Amino acid sequence: MRSGDASVFTGWCILLDMHIKLVIQLVGMGLIVLAAVAGFLWFVFSSSSDVDTTDSRHSVELTQYQAAARAYKSKLTDYTGLCQGIGVTNEFSCLATESAYRISIPAKNSGQLCIDSKGFFGKVTVVSALATTCK
């Protein structure tokens, strides 16, 4: 082997070594980026599945029913026929008499979200099926 050949060979080895190191660095950075994206996606999807807006949605509906019940009574002077009159869905338990009403729905974890003609709006442990008040 001539001395010129040895320097060419050494040059190729150095060049190959540099390329291998560059490839390793790029693969490493790619793995870091991939891990970051995977972590972000896991966080987004696992967090969003833990968030349940059911109680919030039901609270909004109860607020609407409460306002509708006030308007219903001011127009018709009592609560007779209130449940059908304001369109309470079958998802809710609704009881109305001439002088009082109660609308409730089971809460996500326990208890009942409830409104009544006395102005109560909140969560209670249990609601009697025959009661026109939440408490």
* Contact by Cβ (8 Å): 65, 86: yes
Distance, in Å, from the CA atom of 46 to the CA atom of 76, rounded to the nearest integer, reads: 49
CA distances for 46 relative to 31, 42, 52, 99, 109, angstroms: 22, 6, 12, 47, 19
Per-residue pLDDT of the chain (135 residues; tens, 9 = 90+): 555 556 666 666 676 677 677 667 766 566 565 555 555 555 555 544 445 688 889 999 999 999 999 999 999 999 999 999 999 999 999 999 999 999 999 998 889 999 999 999 999 998 888 999 998
pTM as predicted: 0.62
